[in-house]
């Protein structure tokens, strides 16, 4: 029995073109909530950059928590506090940023201050690079003499040689790892952070703080990229969007017929889930 549905945002819940949730997805996910099934989000975005979508889905009517920073944060959007918060140490932050500096590409650094974002240059701001992540935050150009403690840093490069170099360099770290989150983007995040771990933390919090008992095999998850891999692989009902990476489709329970631009989530729910829930 499914008791909770968890959605990735970019490439899954929202359209690529305007970064908005298709109306059909909103309707279907609200319909789930009316039937007593909890709905929440699990995204690579920091919590401040996902509030808009949580509000559009009326998530707080049933649950106050969302999962952000690729599983590194469980955030209570009702009272703006962290129920779980995993971040890189200051030492790791400085080491990671030295690698990024050597790489010489544009980047976006998500600090522990939830209302801020730091980027590499004015070019990033002028051309809206990473805009999907810091759209709802105050973006500033990074002062290399005053690097803030990070949750993650996102590097923009489609150069495979540069991506491989970064993976190799970060690969020697005992506390950091890389994660590919979309074409042309690679992130540096704490090694023990992934969306499935964030879900496990969320279930613990719901049980202890809210008295809501949900098991890991009672969750349906939607995703599209490799930062969804652990979530889709470990969930009993892990669903990859039709636009997902081949690697994700291989470990998914099922794959949607439609992509994120055409409300693939709503179409899947209407065909595969609602018929089994009854009216």
For the segment 182-232, what is each residue's pLDDT rounded down to a tens digit? Answer: 678 899 999 999 999 999 999 999 999 999 999 999 999 999 999 999 999
Q: Looking at 163, 190, 217, which one is the last position of a domain? A: 190
Closest CA to 82 of 73, 91, 95: 73
**Residue 132 pLDDT class (50, 70, 90 cuts):** low
Closest CA to 89 of 193, 179, 169, 181: 193
pLDDT at residue 83, rounded to an integer: 93
Task: Write the CATH number for 115.
Answer: 3.30.1240.10
Q: In which domain, by residue range, is 142 found?
A: 90-190
**Residue 110 pLDDT class (50, 70, 90 cuts):** confident
The yes-or-no verdict on residue 278 having pLDDT over 70 is no
pLDDT, mean of residues 156-162: 90
> What percentage of the chain carries pLDDT values higher than 90?
70
Q: Looking at 166, 190, 214, which one is the last position of a domain? A: 190
Range in 47-56, 77-86, 97-106, 230-239 the model is least confident about = 47-56
Q: Give CA–CA dist 49/44, Å, rounded.
A: 10
For the segment 14-24, what is each residue's pLDDT rounded down to a tens digit? Answer: 999 988 999 99
Which H or E run contains 136? none
Q: Give CA–CA dist 81/132, Å, rounded.
A: 22
The more confident residue out of 132 and 41 is 41
Q: Looking at 175, 190, 205, which one is the last position of a domain? A: 190
Per DSSP, what are the bridge partners of residue 152? 110
Mean pLDDT, the chain, whole residue set: 91
226 token code pair: 């490799």
Please state the pTM of the whole predicted model.
Answer: 0.89
User: Do 176 and 136 have their domain in common?
Assistant: yes
For the chain, the domain total comes to: 2
CB 230 within 8 A of CB 196: yes
Closest CA to 51 of 41, 63, 37: 41
The yes-or-no verdict on residue 241 having pLDDT over 90 is yes
Task: Write the CATH number for 68.
Answer: 3.40.50.1000
User: Do 96 and 186 have their domain in common?
Assistant: yes
């Amino acid at each position: 029995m499914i008791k909770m549905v968890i959605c990735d945002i970019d490439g899954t819940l929202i359209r690529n073109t305007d970064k908005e949730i298709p109306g059909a997805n909103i309707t279907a996910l609200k319909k789930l909530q009316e039937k007593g099934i909890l709905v929440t989000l699990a995204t690579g975005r920091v919590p401040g950059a996902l509030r808009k979508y949580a509000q559009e889905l009326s998530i707080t009517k049933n649950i106050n928590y969302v999962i952000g920073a690729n599983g590194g944060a469980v955030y209570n959007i009702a009272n703006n506090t962290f129920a779980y918060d995993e971040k890189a140490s200051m030492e790791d932050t400085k080491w990671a940023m030295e690698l990024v500096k050597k790489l010489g590409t544009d980047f976006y650094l998500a600090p522990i201050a939830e209302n801020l974002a730091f980027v590499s240059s004015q070019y990033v701001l002028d051309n809206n690079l990473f805009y999907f992540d810091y759209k709802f935050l105050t973006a500033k150009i990074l002062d290399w003499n005053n690097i803030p403690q990070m949750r993650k840093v996102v590097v923009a490069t489609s150069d495979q040689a540069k991506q491989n170099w970064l993976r190799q360099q970060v690969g020697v770290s005992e506390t950091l790892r890389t994660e590919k989150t979309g074409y042309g983007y690679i992130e540096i995040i704490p090694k023990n952070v992934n969306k499935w771990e964030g879900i496990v933390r969320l279930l613990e919090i719901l049980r202890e703080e809210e008295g809501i008992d949900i098991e890991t095999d009672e969750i349906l998850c939607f995703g599209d990229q490799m930062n969804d891999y652990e979530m889709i692989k470990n969930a009993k009902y892990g669903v990859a969007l039709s636009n997902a990476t081949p690697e994700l489709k291989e470990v998914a329970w099922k794959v949607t017929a439609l992509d994120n631009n055409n409300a693939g989530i709503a179409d899947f729910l209407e065909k595969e889930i609602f018929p089994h829930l009854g009216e």
